[in-house]
Amino acid sequence: MTSPDTEPHSLYAAREPIFPKRIKGNFRTLKWWLMALMLGAYYLAPWIRWDRGPELPDQAILLDMAGRRFFFFMIEIWPHEFYFVAGLLIMAGLGLFLFTSAAGRVWCGYACPQTVWTDLMILVERWVEGDRNARLRLFRQKWDAEKIRKRLVKWTLWLLIGLATGGAWIFYFTDAPTLARDLVTGNAHPIAYTTLFILTATTFAFGGFFREQVCIYACPWPRIQAAMMDEDTLTIGYREWRGEPRGKPGVAGNGDCIDCKACVNVCPMGIDIRNGQQLACITCGLCIDACNEIMDKIGKPRDLIGYLALTDETRERAGQPPKSVWKHVFRPRTILYTTLWAGVGVALLVALFMRSDIDVNVSPIRNPLYVTLSDGTIRNAYDLRLRNKLGAAHDYAISVTSEADLRVRIEGTDGDTVSVPANDTLSVRMYLEAQPGSEAAQQERTEVRLWINDADGGDTRVHHDTVFHGKDN
Ligand code: SF4
Ligand code: SF4
């Protein structure tokens, strides 16, 4: 017989369903506004048009995989300019470090897609099934006509949200109006349908059913954020030195907490912040709204639950006022993150505005190094790749400057000018020739600079340095 003490414990804890209660307050209002802003931007952005001329797509934000380019309003990023994307990712990372070190998990509480879509799913759930008590009752109720009807309405609305979410995502990769028409008429590419199906299903499941479990069990961010936080980081906490012992209001010796559990009932993660800082807390601020409402009702000061740092806790316990918010926000760590963030941003802006409308790539042909023509002219060959980033075809004149006298010839043309189509790359074979007996023809190496000038009257002018090989005496 096995005694109860020696029985193995299960490592699996069944999920307790959570039914967050409706709440009004400053943080809830802020979250509604942020949700409207972010969802609005996400769903509507692919439909914004931007005139780039006849040769280019008119979608303001477009990840053109076929054309291997990224369009963002007036900015166009080519594949060889991937460093811009890398720079933006570095800025996003530094921004996340900055906000986390200043105010804890603000990303999780206000801006993470998992939080925003879960909030939206809960809003729909509340609209269909009612507030916390009604939803609890429905959950415990047997599967009768009312429960089936309400569940079907809710799941249908969730599916529509999932469909809109997946649909918006694929619209970023091709012309949105065309794709929308093709999707409806069954003419879209199978990859579009597959992506749409996967994103619809994951939005439906993650936002509707998995909710807080994604944050607690699947997301790595709660585990690594501790490295960015310190004792001065503002985060949400319960002032237990003020609230305890909890109990009925007006009873001598009791603290300010009346144990109403309003803070627990509104929490989308189903936790009790009075138990201290927890991994599951996404710092959404809803428990602050709930408790402030109670404090107002019982005539006690607000912020029994509020934003505070560990250093504030020490000060408040000693009867001193907390540090000002600015002292928590502006400190060496956050200033360092801000400086790095701004530095990368400025570097990207400078690179963006200094880049040329044409790129040139020169590959000298080294086998053989040179050839001697019948009249004794020494010729070197080079492969040129010219990328015209403008929305119209342009002629470019190629010239050379060096201490020696060299002549440019372009294969397949009579002169030194090439025409590069709009938004395209042209590969040409170019020759540099030195007259028989000239200095360049006699020298083993001559440094040369190739110039590519806009031959249509524009002021675009780029250069590339290379080497001319003469006779090896
Ligand atoms: S404890 Fe408060 S701040 Fe944390 S997740 Fe719950 S409601 Fe949000
Ligand atoms: S809402 Fe405030 S008073 Fe009510 S249980 Fe939570 S901390 Fe206590």
Q: Looking at ligand 1, which residue's alpha carbon is closest to its atom 2?
A: 287
Q: What is the pTM of this model?
A: 0.83
Asked if residue 12 belongs to a domain, the reply is: no
**With 60 as the cut, is the pLDDT of residue 65 above it?**
yes
Please work out whether the CB of residue 271 comes within 6 Å of at least one atom of ligand 1: yes
Asked if residue 57 belongs to a domain, the reply is: yes
Q: Residues 221, 262: one domain?
A: no
Give the number of other CB atoms < 10 A from CB of residue 301.
Answer: 11
Q: Looking at ligand 1, which residue's alpha carbon is closest to its atom 4?
A: 281
**With 60 as the cut, is the pLDDT of residue 274 above it?**
yes
Cα–ligand 1 centroid distance for 251 (angstroms)? 28
* From 21, 283, 305, mutation site for ligand 1 pocket: most ligand atoms within 8 A of C-beta: 283
User: Residue range 82-102: average pLDDT?
Assistant: 93
Q: Residues 91, 209: one domain?
A: yes
Cα–ligand 2 centroid distance for 288 (angstroms)? 9
Asked if residue 2 belongs to a domain, the reply is: no
**With 70 as the cut, is the pLDDT of residue 7 above it?**
no
Asked if residue 7 belongs to a domain, the reply is: no
Please work out whether the CB of residue 305 comes within 6 Å of at least one atom of ligand 1: no
Percentage of residues of the chain with pLDDT beyond 70: 98
Give the number of whichever ligand sits closest to the CA of residue 303.
2
**With 60 as the cut, is the pLDDT of residue 473 above it?**
no
Q: Residues 75, 160: one domain?
A: yes
Contact 25, 306 (CB under 8 A): no
Q: Residues 380, 316: one domain?
A: no
**With 50 as the cut, is the pLDDT of residue 5 above it?**
yes
Q: Residues 171, 186: one domain?
A: yes
Domain that residue 165 falls in: 26-226
Domain-ending residue, one of 196, 226, 256: 226
Domain-ending residue, one of 191, 226, 261: 226
CATH of the domain at 462: 2.60.40.10
User: Could you identify the atom of ligand 1 that is nearest to the CA of residue 305?
Assistant: 2
* From 271, 275, 305, mutation site for ligand 1 pocket: most ligand atoms within 8 A of C-beta: 271
Per-residue pLDDT tens digits for 144-161: 999 999 999 999 999 999
Q: Residues 206, 239: one domain?
A: no
Give the number of whichever ligand sits closest to the CA of residue 262.
2
Q: Residues 419, 439: one domain?
A: yes
User: Residue range 428-452: average pLDDT?
Assistant: 91
Token digits of residue 451: 């110039």
User: Residue range 271-286: average pLDDT?
Assistant: 94
pLDDT interval class at 226 (50, 70, 90): confident
Q: Residues 188, 53: one domain?
A: yes
The pLDDT assigned to 391 comes to 77
Q: Looking at ligand 2, which residue's alpha carbon is closest to its atom 4?
A: 260
Cα–ligand 1 centroid distance for 281 (angstroms)? 5
Looking at the 3D structure of the chain, how many domains does it have?
3
User: Could you identify the atom of ligand 1 that is nearest to the CA of residue 270?
Assistant: 6
Give the number of other CB atoms < 10 A from CB of residue 343.
Answer: 12
The pLDDT assigned to 405 comes to 83
Q: Residues 33, 156: one domain?
A: yes
Q: Residues 188, 96: one domain?
A: yes
Mean pLDDT of the chain: 91
Q: What is the 3-state secondary structure (H, E, C) of the chain?
A: CCCHHHCCCCCCCCCCCCCCCCCCCHHHHHHHHHHHHHHHHHHHHHHCECCCCCCCCCECEEEECCCCEEEECCEEECHHHCHHHHHHHHHHHHHHHHHHHHHCCHHHHHHCHHHHHHHHHHHHHHHHHCCHHHHHHHHHCCCCHHHHHHHHHHHHHHHHHHHHHHHHHHHCCCCHHHHHHHHHHCCCCHHHHHHHHHHHHHHHHHHHHHCHHHHHHHCCHHHHHHHHCCCCCCEEEECHHHHCCCCCCCCCCCCCCCCCCHHHHCCCCCCCHHHCCCCCCCCCCHHHHHHHHHHHHHCCCCCCEEEECHHHHHHHHCCCCCCCHHHHHCCHHHHHHHHHHHHHHHHHHHHHHHCCCEEEEEEECCCCCCEECCCCCEEEEEEEEEEECCCCCEEEEEEEECCCCEEEEECCCCCCEEEECCCEEEEEEEEEEECCCCHHHHCCEEEEEEEEEECCCCCCEEEEEEEEECCCC
Asked if residue 340 belongs to a domain, the reply is: no
**With 70 as the cut, is the pLDDT of residue 8 above it?**
no
User: Could you identify the atom of ligand 1 that is nearest to the CA of residue 288?
Assistant: 2
Cα–ligand 2 centroid distance for 97 (angstroms)? 31
Among 164-168, 271-275, 399-403, the least confident range: 399-403
Q: Residues 286, 210: one domain?
A: no
Q: Residues 280, 396: one domain?
A: no
Which residue has tokens 């440094």?
447
User: Could you identify the atom of ligand 2 that is nearest to the CA of residue 264?
Assistant: 6
Q: Looking at ligand 2, which residue's alpha carbon is closest to its atom 6?
A: 263
Asked if residue 336 belongs to a domain, the reply is: no
**With 50 as the cut, is the pLDDT of residue 326 above it?**
yes
Asked if residue 1 belongs to a domain, the reply is: no
- Distance (Å, whole) CA 456 – CA 452: 12
Asked if residue 126 belongs to a domain, the reply is: yes
Per-residue pLDDT tens digits for 401-431: 877 789 999 998 888 889 998 888 899 999 9
Domain-ending residue, one of 165, 193, 226: 226
User: Residue range 441-462: average pLDDT?
Assistant: 86
User: Could you identify the atom of ligand 1 that is nearest to the CA of residue 284?
Assistant: 8
pLDDT interval class at 4 (50, 70, 90): low
Q: Looking at ligand 1, which residue's alpha carbon is closest to its atom 3?
A: 283
Highest mean pLDDT among 65-69, 130-134, 387-391, 447-451: 130-134
**With 60 as the cut, is the pLDDT of residue 72 above it?**
yes
